[in-house]
């Protein structure tokens, strides 16, 4: 299967794990070939079948226990997105292959580190745990695929009226958002210098009633938010950041996305709206144009039900 086909067929897998990946964001990318002794490991860990009523697809590293990682209920496929993904929503990644149960059977995972750990370290620990307990073997195929790209829309490089540099602080009141982006502020352990957090928002970020709110985000996150179901239903495919901008920003987009299920077609004209691309250009000073971007295909070659704890 070529990369473009994976983009069209595989995006839902990454999006369905958005909450999970949000919590483990900002960590190292796929590195299944890294020598095991170069990665940290949990001092103690358990892997067992999840309780039927457990909350699915979330990760809980409680602030009071910065050396503990707790995942109540997650399939192995979703765990792979978490441990080996790009740290964000993984909209340009697809996990495929392996036995059928990796997409059906949910597991509870709990790991305790020897001391306070950063999210990067937790993620590397999770990689090692999956490889050991599930006898996980996989390969990663990186390619370039056709997709939309986000670029600066003005010749002088200025951005739109609803973009400003991030102030360095977050609002005290949590806004009501859905499809929330990975957020570092409440979840990252350790100083910023230890975090590879390009995919992590510093403050609450996501879709709101009547638009999008982004706070303390890089353009990587902006492109990923535009790749999620509300915007993707209008754009038709995923978006990759090619702005070249390195800073963090606070951004608002006023656009009443039609209520619909992921994948349903939508026609903005029916709602009397300008196109989403037009709104992005007018409000953010950015353009959404056809292009190519990186796509990661992770192929599970073999996996076994977890070994006893």
pLDDT of residue 26 exceeding 50, the answer is no
- Averaged pLDDT, 94-123: 91
Query: For tokens 């077609």, what's the residue?
Result: 265
CB 40, CB 121: distance < 8 Å: yes
Helical spans, DSSP H, in 239-302: 276-284
Give the model's pLDDT for residue 214: 96
As a whole-number percent, the residues of the chain with pLDDT over 70 amount to: 76
Rounded Cα distance, 294 and 272, in Å: 34
- What is the band of 259 on the pLDDT scale with cuts at 50, 70, 90? low
User: Residue 94's pLDDT is what?
Assistant: 95
User: CB-hemisphere CA count at 13 Å for 309?
Assistant: 13
How far is Cα 92 from Cα 296, in angstroms, rounded to an integer?
A: 6
* pLDDT score of 70 more than 70: yes
Mean pLDDT value of segment 30-44: 68
- Region of residue 15 (phi > 0: left; psi between -120 and 50: alpha; otherwise: beta): alpha
* The pLDDT value given to residue 8: 55
Confidence category of residue 3, pLDDT binned at 50, 70, 90: low
Which of 198, 205, 195, 247 shows the shortest CA–CA distance to 226? 205
**Local confidence band at 57 (pLDDT 50, 70, 90 cut-offs):** confident
For 257-262, the CB contacts below 8 A with 24+ separation are 257/207, 257/211, 257/230, 257/231, 258/233, 260/230, 260/233, 261/229, 262/12, 262/15, 262/229, 262/232, 262/233
The pLDDT of residue 64: 56
Q: In the prediction, which pLDDT does 264 show?
A: 44
38: confidence class by pLDDT, cuts 50, 70, 90: confident
Stronger pLDDT, 305 or 12, i.e. the higher one = 305
| pLDDT tens-place string over residues 132-151 | 999 999 999 999 999 999 99
- C-beta separation of 50 from 157 below 8 A: no
Q: What does the alpha-carbon distance between residue 70 and residue 46 come to, in Å, rounded to a whole number?
A: 10
- Taking CA atoms, 208 is separated from 102, 175, 177, 219, 302, in Å, by 33, 8, 5, 19, 41
* Higher pLDDT, residue 24 or 114: 114
Q: What is the mean pLDDT of residues 159-168?
A: 96
Answer with the residue of higher pLDDT: 196 or 26: 196
Asked if pLDDT for residue 212 goes beyond 70, the answer is yes
pLDDT over threshold 80, residue 267: no
Whose structure tokens read 């638009």?
A: 211
pLDDT in the model for residue 30: 44
Tokens read off for 238: 């995923």
Domain ranges for the chain, please list them.
3-143+295-302, 146-292
């Amino acid at each position: 299967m070529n990369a473009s086909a994976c983009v069209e067929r595989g995006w839902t897998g990454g999006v369905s794990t958005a909450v999970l990946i949000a919590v483990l964001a900002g960590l190292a990318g796929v590195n299944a070939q890294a020598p095991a002794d170069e990665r940290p490991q949990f001092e103690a860990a358990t892997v067992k079948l999840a309780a039927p009523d457990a909350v699915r697809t979330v990760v809980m590293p409680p602030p009071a226990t910065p050396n503990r990682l707790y995942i109540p209920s997650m399939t192995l496929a979703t765990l792979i997105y978490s441990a080996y993904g790009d740290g964000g929503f993984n909209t340009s990644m697809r996990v495929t292959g392996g036995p059928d149960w990796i997409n059906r059977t949910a597991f509870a995972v709990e790991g305790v580190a020897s001391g306070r750990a950063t999210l990067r370290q937790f993620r590397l620990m999770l990689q090692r745990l999956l490889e050991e307990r599930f006898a996980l073997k996989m390969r990663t195929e990186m390619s370039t695929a056709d997709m939309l790209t986000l670029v600066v829309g003005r010749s002088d490089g200025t951005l739109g009226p609803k973009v400003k540099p991030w102030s360095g602080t977050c609002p005290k009141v949590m806004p009501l958002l859905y499809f929330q982006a990975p957020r570092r502020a409440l979840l990252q352990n350790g100083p910023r210098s230890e975090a590879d957090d390009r995919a992590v928002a510093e403050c609450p970020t996501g879709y709101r009633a009547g638009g999008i709110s982004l706070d303390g985000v890089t353009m990587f996150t902006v492109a990923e938010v535009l790749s999620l179901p509300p915007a993707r239903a209008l754009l038709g495919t995923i978006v990759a950041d090619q702005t070249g901008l390195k800073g963090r920003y606070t951004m608002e987009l006023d656009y009443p996305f039609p209520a619909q299920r992921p994948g349903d077609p939508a026609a903005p004209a029916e709602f009397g709206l300008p196109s989403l691309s037009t709104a992005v250009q007018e409000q953010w000073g950015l353009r959404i144009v056809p292009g190519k971007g990186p796509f990661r295909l992770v192929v599970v070659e073999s996996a076994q039900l977890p070994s006893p704890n």
